[in-house]
Every structure is written in structure tokens, then in C-alpha cells.
């Protein structure tokens, strides 16, 4: 697990720890010592902690004028035991909402499992953005993770599915990824 790094090819365009408006502004990383773990497995030091012992992330890109961000997630999303959505919403999302961000692209190919508790934080997040044409798009999540999200009704607050799960996002520039997903979201929201 320690070899899985956050995507770094967009660092010439955006670095969260250098962005004064980022919840991770000023953060420093120890590149010589692995300190963070998920279930006793060390993880790469570039992942940002949010208060959860199992879910980490990296804000890969933010565009404040177009009001979107791209976040890569890593680990186990465990609302049942650790209430990860609470940490994610309170420590990251709320800070971005205060800066005007209303469109969220969550990359989940490194989310290994999802364990559900309740939908109150998801509903709250959805309510925060719906009047501003906001959305939350999940791309490239594992099928069993999406099946678990479906079982608990998160499709009412989050957008995911086959069309979003096959996006080759790495070769794209952040703006192109956003534009493509925004077109899909507009179509999906217009269709109801």
C-alpha cells in the first residue's frame, strides 16, 4: 500500500498545500519516513489525513472561478465504524464550500471498501450545493463499492454509474476532465 501515490502529473497546475484557500494549506510532508497507516499498513506520505484512520485523500485540482474541484480518495470509506463522511464533510468539503466550490469530482479507484451508516451527511452535502447547480460525481469506483452505495440509497445525492466509471482521466488536463463530466451531469440532471 505504501507504493500507491496520489496522482502527481497536475502538480504544475495546482498544489493544495500552497493554496491559501485550501484546507491543506501549509501542510508539510515527511518524504523520508512513512508515518500514516491504514490497518497497520503504511501508506505513502503524500496522502492527506482528514481525521479518519482508514480514509485519506488528495485534492488534485481546484478552479475557484468555475467552482469545481477534483479529489482522489484512498483507503477504506467506513461510515459505520469511523464515520468517515463526517470527517470528510467537516474537515474538507465545508472548507471548499466556503470558497464557493459546488461541483465535486471524486476519484475512487483506490477506495477498497465502503461501509454504510446513514445518509445525513450526504443529504446535507447535497442540500449545500443543489441550488447552485452543484453536483458530486464519483468516477472509477470499484463495482462492489458502488453496489454498497446503491444498497443504502446514496444515488439520490451522488452521481455514479457505468458512464462515470470508465473515464480514462489520467491523460486529460483537469479542465477537460471537468468539462466532460459537467456535460454528463447537465444531461443527467435535465433528464431527472
Q: How high is the mean pLDDT of the chain?
A: 94
Contact criterion met (CB below 8 Å) for 117 and 79: yes
Q: Is 112 helix (H, G, I), strand (E, B) or coil?
A: strand
pLDDT in tens, 96-146: 999 999 999 999 999 999 999 989 999 999 999 999 999 999 999 999 999
Contact criterion met (CB below 8 Å) for 119 and 149: no
pLDDT at position 33: 84
Instruction: Tell me the C-alpha distance between 119 and 184, whole Å.
Output: 24
Q: How confident is the model at residue 5 (pLDDT cuts 50, 70, 90)?
A: very high
> Quick check: 160 pLDDT over 80?
yes
> Quick check: 34 pLDDT over 90?
no
Instruction: Tell me the C-alpha distance between 118 and 153, whole Å.
Output: 10
pLDDT in tens, 59-101: 999 999 999 999 999 999 999 999 999 999 999 999 999 999 9
Instruction: Tell me the C-alpha distance between 70 and 185, whole Å.
Output: 15
- To the question of domain 16-191 being in CATH 3.40.50.80, the answer is no
DSSP helix, strand, coil percent of the chain (3-state; round to 5): 35, 25, 45
Which cell goes with 136? 458530486
Contact criterion met (CB below 8 Å) for 155 and 121: no
Widest CA span in the chain: 50
Instruction: Tell me the C-alpha distance between 126 and 120, whole Å.
Output: 10
pLDDT at position 101: 98
> Quick check: 189 pLDDT over 80?
no
pLDDT at position 2: 78
Domain ranges of the chain: 16-191
pLDDT at position 7: 96
Dihedral sign from CA coordinates of 121, 110, 43, 57: negative
Amino acid at each position: 500500500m505504501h507504493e500507491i501515490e496520489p496522482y502527481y502529473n497536475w502538480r504544475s497546475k495546482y498544489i493544495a498545500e500552497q493554496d491559501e484557500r485550501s484546507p491543506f494549506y501549509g501542510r508539510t510532508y515527511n518524504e523520508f519516513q512513512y508515518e500514516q497507516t491504514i490497518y497497520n499498513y503504511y501508506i505513502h506520505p503524500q496522502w492527506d489525513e482528514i481525521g479518519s484512520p482508514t480514509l485519506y485523500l488528495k485534492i488534485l485540482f481546484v478552479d475557484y472561478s468555475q467552482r469545481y474541484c477534483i479529489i482522489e480518495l484512498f483507503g477504506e470509506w467506513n461510515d459505520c465504524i469511523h464515520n468517515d463522511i463526517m470527517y470528510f464533510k467537516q474537515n474538507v468539503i465545508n472548507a471548499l464550500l466556503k470558497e464557493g466550490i459546488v461541483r465535486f469530482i471524486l476519484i475512487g479507484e483506490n477506495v477498497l471498501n465502503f461501509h454504510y451508516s446513514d445518509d445525513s451527511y450526504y443529504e446535507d452535502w447535497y442540500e449545500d450545493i443543489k441550488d447552485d447547480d452543484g453536483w458530486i460525481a464519483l468516477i472509477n469506483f470499484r463495482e462492489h463499492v458502488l453496489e454498497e452505495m446503491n444498497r443504502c440509497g446514496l444515488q439520490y445525492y451522488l452521481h455514479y454509474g457505468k458512464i462515470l466509471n470508465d473515464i480514462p482521466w489520467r491523460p486529460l488536463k483537469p479542465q477537460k476532465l471537468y468539462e466532460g463530466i459537467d456535460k454528463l451531469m447537465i444531461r443527467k440532471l435535465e433528464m431527472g
